[in-house]
Amino acid sequence: MEDAFELAEDGAEFVITRYRDSNANLRTQLIRIIERAGLKRWPKLFQNLRATRETELAELFPMHVVCAWIGNSELVAAKHYLQITEDHFHRAIENPGQNPGQQAAELARNDSQPRAATHQKTPVLPVFAANCPKLQCTEVGVARLELATSRM
């Protein structure tokens, strides 16, 4: 792409002009390239390429921005394009229970802080909590227990 950009005429809107004709068969050419490379062709070539790129962009930018660039809605993206990748699994294994934006836990200190003479151990069940009525739920409704996210 960089070479095509350098070779393009000044002010050119498109750097690749060979396939701008609406009669160009891009799928056939892409299949040839894949086979020449000795790779296995996957179904829905262009949809899979689009899904891969949308997933990559969603890792870096807010969904409303990605959808504006790709040209679909967040609902369509979530239903048809966004994918779970191997990298997602690897990151989850490396950092279980930690959001990417969170800092790692601080290591334990060697020395402890001195206790104040007035410090008392808090009872496990304070008196005011003992007076609360017991609530027990034995059934889970049809609604999902997970919190809704803004990405879906």
Mean pLDDT of the 10-26 span: 79
Beta carbons of 51 and 83 less than 8 angstroms apart: yes
Residue 91 pLDDT? 87
Residue 66 pLDDT? 95
Give how far the C-alpha of residue 27 lies from the chain's centroid of Cα atoms, to the nearest Å: 28
Q: pLDDT at residue 129 above 90?
A: no
Helix (H, G, I), strand (E, B), or coil: what is residue 94? helix
Cα separation, 51 vs 45, in Å, equals: 10
pLDDT digits (tens, 9 = 90+) for 70-123: 999 999 999 988 999 898 888 888 877 666 555 555 555 555 555 555 555 555
The token pair at 57 is: 């962009």
The token pair at 127 is: 């008196």
User: For 119, phi and psi rounded to 5 degrees?
Assistant: -70, 130
The token pair at 35 is: 């086979």
Mean pLDDT of the 22-32 span: 84
pLDDT digits (tens, 9 = 90+) for 38-51: 999 888 888 888 99
**Which amino acid does the sequence have at 144?**
R
Confidence of residue 59 (pLDDT cuts 50, 70, 90): very high
Rounded to the nearest integer, the mean pLDDT of the chain is 75
